[in-house]
Amino acid sequence: MKGYSKLTEGLLGQPMLEILTTVCALEAAGKKVYRFEVGDSAIDAYPHIVDAVKKALDEGHTKYVDSLGILPLREAICDYTKRKLGFRPDVSQVAIMPANSVIDFVMRSVVNPGEEVVFSDPGFAVYIAVASYLGMKAVKVPVLEKNDFRLNPEDLLARITDKTRLAIITSPQNPTGGVMTEAEMLRVAEIAKEKDIYLLSDEIYAENIYDCQHYSPAVVDQCRERTIILSGFSKGHSMSGFRLGYAIGPSDLIAKMGQMFETVYTCVPPFIQYAGIAALNTPKELMAERVSRYKKLRDLMVKRLNEIPGITCATPKGAIYVFPNITGTGLSSREFAKVVLEKAGVAVVPGCCFGEGGEGYVRLCYVRDEETIEEACAAIKKALTK
């Protein structure tokens, strides 16, 4: 009678783990590995954010709190949304939980097994993983380099059927860095309304944007009807290890997601939630300084990659990744990743880990220091040309 449930058959794991195993073996053998595979900043969280955690600990914020989050953080998120997007959600529309939990709980709340959820290809591996283990059908919308990696709303529309319950839109996008225009976002909101489906707007990279502006489809219904904003502090505030994110959505849905979170997690540690308040109060100059620093690193990486024969790299307008086209090398994305890891000691994620549409590309997170970028690109060049 022992054995595993059917659900476990749908567990994909993270496809990039195959890279990680080799990385660990190389590092254990004393080899230097330039690690560009993890979607994380080499820059630490600002000291005022860390201090906020310490202060909250000292003040005894170490006990259970409301599953939806502490009120001052939820209010701070309402204020931030007003500043950023021009509307102020009701506090009952806000739930504090890790961003990945938002994906899982939104999908579980509005999609039945066998029904359809639409999102981009290439796209964030967790959308694929959650749909798979929940037995939902993942319908992919191609996101193409020739369209600057922006999802075309009409391509989305063409894939909505009477089984579609949810569309997920990601701008800035992971892994491509594509940023959608205002007109495109408004069209997406219109399509969701016409087709009467839910719309999850993954805005985790909203603070990682260069030479352009971030738009949200949420301005249309103010998250009161069908739009759910997913955001958090990992990417915009270098707080990946804090596991602090949030959802803004219709109050009823947020209440259901809160019940799920209560059941499996109870609440986000309160002393961590105070770090979120501090993060939202980060001085504008510091935020601008970070964006400017990231942009310089992006530009350096794009420049160096384009100097390598067989690689062409577009300049992404958002997120923290470059997504170079490696078809000129004659290698598949998996082969490329293997070669540069073994011969150059550079860890990247094969594009195919983000869906079929990622084949021919690899993802590198460029928030490393200049020296690391220079050395790694030189090593890739050498490995590919010898």
Which spans of this chain sit near a copy of itself (rule: CB under 8 A)? Answer: 1-8, 11-14, 38, 40, 44-45, 50, 53-54, 57-58, 60-65, 98, 100-101, 103-104, 108-112, 126, 129-130, 133, 162, 164-165, 195-198, 226, 239-243, 253, 256, 259-260, 262-272
Of residues 36, 55, 62, 89, the one with CA closest to residue 251? 89
As measured in angstroms, the least distance from the Cβ of 37 to a copy of itself is 11
What are the distances in angstroms from CA 285 to CA 282, 289, 291?
Answer: 8, 6, 10
Closer of 38 and 219 to a copy of itself (Cβ): 38
Minimum Å gap between C-beta 260 and a copy of itself is 7
| Closest to 176 measured CA to CA, from 369, 354, 368, 35 | 354
Nearer to a copy of itself, 192 or 301 (CB): 192
Side-chain-side CA neighbours of residue 273 (13 Å): 25
In this structure, are strands 362-365 and 349-350 parallel, antiparallel, or unpaired?
Answer: antiparallel
- Looking at the Cβ atoms of 74 and 317, the one nearer to a copy of itself is 74
Residue 223 Cβ, how far from a copy of itself at the closest point, in Å?
Answer: 14
Dist. CA 76–CA 365, nearest whole Å: 29
C-beta separation of 117 from 137 below 8 A = yes
The number of CA neighbours under 13 Å toward the Cβ of 361 is 28
Question: From CA 38, how far away is CA 19, in angstroms rounded?
Answer: 11
Give the C-alpha separation, 284 to 65, whole Å: 30
Nearer to a copy of itself, 196 or 299 (CB): 196
Shortest distance, position 16 Cβ to a copy of itself, whole Å? 11
In terms of CB distance, is 102 or 346 closer to a copy of itself?
102
- In the bound state with a copy of itself, the residue whose beta carbon lies nearer, of 241 and 330, is 241
CB of residue 171 to a copy of itself, shortest distance in Å = 22
CB of 176 to a copy of itself, least distance (A): 21
Q: What is d(CA 68, CA 289) in angstroms, rounded to the nearest whole number?
A: 32
Distances, alpha carbon 242 to alpha carbons 13, 49, 181, 205, 239, in Å? 22, 11, 31, 16, 5
CB closer to a copy of itself out of 179 and 279: 279
Question: Residue 101 Cβ, how far from a copy of itself at the closest point, in Å?
Answer: 5
Q: Write down the residue that tokens 């384009």 correspond to.
A: 306
